[in-house]
Amino acid sequence: MSTQKLRIFYIVSLVILVVLAASLIFRPLETGHGYSELQREQLLQTESEWIIQFDILNHEGKRQHYTINVIANGKEHNEEVSIENGRIFSYIHHIRRDTSNNKDAQFVIYAQGKNEPIEQVTYHLK
């Protein structure tokens, strides 16, 4: 590659760097439409219980309120959580074997302002 072309390439890269630096000040990076995401979903079994856990990641671009609705062992739990943009909430739920009715455990996660749940999972516990 000739020196002239390298020089041009170098100048262009510096210009890009300056533009990026300026954008950090004047315009935060946007990744497109916001969304929420579940990670690390898992069902663990021990001698005495089942353990269901997952993380909720907020990519909505703003603070988002969620409701975690759980029906297990004949009981219903509702967990309310408010997650800042880019942050994670970790949820763990224990279901004891000695009090279990051996029926399904259902988890539904709603994001406020959205008609459909962001996640709906049914665990068959036996």
Partner 1 sequence: MQIINKKTLNLLIIVLVLTGLLLGAFAVPTNAGAPDDSYTIERYHSENFSALSTTNIAWQNKTTISFTPPNNAYFLLISDCVIGAEFARDPVQARLFDGSTPYNEIKYTPKLANSESSFTSHRVLSLTADTTYTFNNQFSSVGGDNVSIRDSTLTAIQLSDNITAEHNAIQSTTNTDYTDALTLDFTGDGGDYLIIANADTTNSNNTRETITELYYSTGTASWGENIYSPYIGEDYGNFFIFRKLTAASDAQQFKIRYKASGNTASIRNAHISAIDLDDVSDIQYAESEAVSSNSTLPGVFQDKATLTFSPVAEGNYSISMVSLINQSDTGGEIHSAEITDGVNFDTQIYTPDDVATYIVSSHSDVFSVNNTSHTYKTQFKPVSAGTASMKNSRIIAIRMNTCESYFDSAHTTVSDNFTNLTGTLYFWAQGLSTNTDYKVSYYDHDGDKISSDVDVTSNANGTLATEFDLSTDSGAAPGANWRAAVFTSSASPPTTWDAVSGTTGFIMADRFHVEASAIPEFPDLIAAIAVTGSCFAIYIWMRKRRPAYVYSKT
State which residue, 86 or 122, has the beta carbon closest to partner 1. Answer: 86
Nearest Cα to 105, choosing from 65, 77, 86, 83? 77
**Residue 70 binds partner 1 (CB under 8 A):** yes
Nearer CB in complex with partner 1: 10/114:
10
Number of residues that bind partner 1 (CB under 8 A): 37
Rule CB under 8 A: is residue 19 a binding residue for partner 1?
no
- The 10 Å Cβ neighbour count of residue 121 is 15
Q: What is the DSSP string of 30-73?
A: --SS-EEEEEEEEEEE-SSEEEEEEEEEEESSS-EEEEEEEEET
21 binds partner 1 (CB under 8 A): yes
37 is a contact residue toward partner 1 (CB under 8 A)? no
Tokens of 121: 């999972």
Site for partner 1 contains 18 (CB under 8 A): yes
The DSSP 8-state label assigned to residue 93 in this structure reads: E
In whole angstroms, how close is the CB of 61 to partner 1 at the nearest point?
14
CB 37 within 8 A of CB 44: no
Query: Which residues are near partner 1 by CB under 8 A?
Result: 1, 3, 6-7, 9-10, 13-14, 17-18, 20-21, 24-25, 49, 55, 65, 70, 77-84, 86-96
